[in-house]
């Protein structure tokens, strides 16, 4: 779930924006260096952005009037690393806020922190930790885990902003996780499978061209 426009208190929205800014600034430097070294990678970068845009725009109804969706950020993280994916993810969220009213400008920093930073870094880490299982299983674990971690961070963001009267932030976080988990767990598994399929398709293309 992208946190909607105006939903977070101004102080919280500003704090998450400041927290996301260093990651995005570092990602811009990394992106510029990579594109300067090989301009042909612009097409693959655009494909990774389109993949994330399409998947994360698929809002599916969840319980209590909320919604869930895949994130699509693991693909770019595995192809280019989480630093560059912070920029791609931010651009995806910006266009969704402007074109689809999905998320918002005031909550852009918070949504970027969860989906463009936390999720991609978790996907990258899980992929590194599970490489001995093979590229396919590692990518599946990375994409599924990154998707779920994005929602855990979102639940924490909401819980910090709106702690429960009885139990505070931990109780509120548990409530938000329970709401999202009903639909997000199967979506995360589906995203893992789709990410593996796309990665294998990309690897097969050079071989087909050579044949």
CA 13/CA 16 separation, integer angstroms: 5
Are the CB atoms for 72 and 191 separated by under 8 Å?
Answer: yes
Are the CB atoms for 57 and 100 separated by under 8 Å?
Answer: yes
pTM score of the predicted model = 0.90
State residue 178's pLDDT score. Answer: 84
**110, exposed or middle or buried, with CB in 10 Å at 0-12, 13-18, 19+?**
buried
State residue 210's pLDDT score. Answer: 42
State residue 83's pLDDT score. Answer: 96
Q: pLDDT tens, 154-165?
A: 999 999 999 999
State residue 102's pLDDT score. Answer: 83
State residue 61's pLDDT score. Answer: 65
- 3-state secondary structure at position 6: coil
CATH topology of domain 10-210: Arp2/3 complex 21 kDa subunit ARPC3 (1.10.1760)
83 token code pair: 């630093």
State residue 66's pLDDT score. Answer: 55
Which parts of the chain have pLDDT scores under 70?
A: 1, 61-67, 205-211
Residue 177 burial (CB count, 10 A): 18
State residue 73's pLDDT score. Answer: 93
State residue 49's pLDDT score. Answer: 93
How do the domains of the chain map onto residue ranges? 10-210
């Amino acid at each position: 779930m992208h946190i909607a426009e105006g939903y977070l208190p101004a102080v919280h929205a500003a704090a998450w924006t400041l927290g996301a800014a260093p990651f995005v600034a570092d990602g811009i430097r990394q992106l510029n260096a990579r594109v300067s070294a090989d301009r042909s990678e612009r097409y693959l970068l655009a494909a990774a952005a389109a993949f994330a845009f399409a998947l994360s725009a698929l809002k599916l109804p969840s319980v209590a009037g909320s919604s869930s969706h895949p994130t699509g950020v693991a693909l770019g993280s595995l192809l280019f690393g989480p630093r560059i994916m912070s920029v791609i993810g931010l651009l995806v969220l910006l266009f969704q806020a402007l074109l689809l009213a999905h998320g918002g400008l005031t909550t852009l920093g918070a949504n970027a922190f969860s989906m463009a930073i936390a999720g991609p870094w978790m996907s990258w880490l899980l992929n590194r930790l599970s490489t001995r299982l093979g590229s396919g299983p590692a990518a599946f674990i990375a994409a599924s885990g990154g998707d779920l971690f994005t929602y855990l961070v979102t639940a924490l963001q909401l819980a910090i902003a709106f702690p429960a009267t009885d139990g505070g932030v931990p109780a509120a976080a548990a409530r938000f996780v329970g709401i999202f988990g009903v639909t997000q767990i199967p979506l995360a598994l589906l995203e893992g499978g789709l990410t593996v399929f796309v990665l294998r398709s990309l690897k097969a293309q050079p071989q087909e061209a050579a044949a």
